[in-house]
């Protein structure tokens, strides 16, 4: 099968590269084309645009780069149609990806799958209407998202959380906190957790 993936940041690159690996295990003829990053490129396929060319955060940077953003949207739409994939997989990055999903639904018959639902339960809940209209399949990584979408009459699939899987599969996963402290000679040092999110 032919897969077209779109990510807009480093975390999307990581999750999409893991997804691509999983797809390759089930589909040895998988052909990938993507707006992505270095990790996706390592898995294989054709990188059309690097996410560094797409990622603009904040009102002013978006305004200053509006021409570039609109040009990237047009490049992406045309490239998808020219490639004619069996499925388009959108990874988070809703500002860009919802515009692509809408275009595909209105102008093609290419199915759209969304992997890693944007956190609309936290803000911009109104976007649920766009997902219901333009996304054929939503794959969630947080278990409570299933109930959130169910309340909006939108069936989704929970596929597990790649971050939790990575932690569970880490080396020394059975190691206790005290063993970790002792092994790393941290007995007399403060421990600080940095939890990005």
Q: 99-136, pLDDT tens digit by residue?
A: 999 999 999 999 999 999 888 888 888 889 999 999 99
On whether residue 189 sits in a domain, the answer given is no
- Which pair of tokens denotes residue 65? 């780069």
Name the stretches of the chain with pLDDT < 70. 164-170, 173, 196-197
pLDDT value of position 196: 66
Helix (H, G, I), strand (E, B) or coil at 65: coil
Q: Are 134 and 104 in contact (CB under 8 A)?
A: yes
Helix (H, G, I), strand (E, B) or coil at 186: coil
What does each C-alpha distance from 37 to 40, 67, 132, 143 come to in angstroms?
6, 22, 28, 27
On whether residue 151 sits in a domain, the answer given is yes
Q: Are 41 and 13 in contact (CB under 8 A)?
A: no
On whether residue 191 sits in a domain, the answer given is no
Q: What is the pTM of this model?
A: 0.83
Q: What are phi and psi of 158, to 5 degrees?
A: -90, 125
On whether residue 193 sits in a domain, the answer given is no
On whether residue 120 sits in a domain, the answer given is yes
């Amino acid at each position: 099968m032919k897969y077209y993936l779109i990510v807009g940041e480093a975390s999307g690159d990581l999750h999409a590269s893991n997804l691509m690996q999983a797809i390759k295990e089930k589909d040895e003829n998988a052909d990938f084309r993507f707006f992505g990053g270095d990790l996706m490129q390592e898995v294989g396929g054709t990188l059309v645009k690097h996410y560094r060319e797409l990622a603009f955060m904040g009102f002013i940077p978006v305004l200053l780069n509006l021409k570039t953003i609109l040009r990237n949207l047009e490049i992406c739409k045309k490239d998808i149609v020219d490639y004619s994939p069996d499925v388009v997989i959108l990874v988070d990055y809703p500002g860009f990806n919802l515009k692509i999903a809408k275009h595909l639904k209105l102008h093609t018959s290419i199915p759209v799958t969304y992997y890693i639902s944007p956190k609309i339960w936290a803000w911009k809940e109104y976007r649920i209407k766009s997902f219901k209209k333009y996304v054929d399949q939503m794959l969630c990584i947080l278990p409570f998202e299933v109930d959130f979408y169910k309340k909006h009459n939108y069936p989704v699939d929970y596929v597990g959380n790649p971050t939790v899987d990575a932690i569970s599969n880490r080396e020394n996963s059975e190691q206790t906190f005290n063993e970790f402290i002792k092994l790393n000679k941290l007995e007399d040092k403060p421990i600080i957790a940095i939890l990005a999110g």
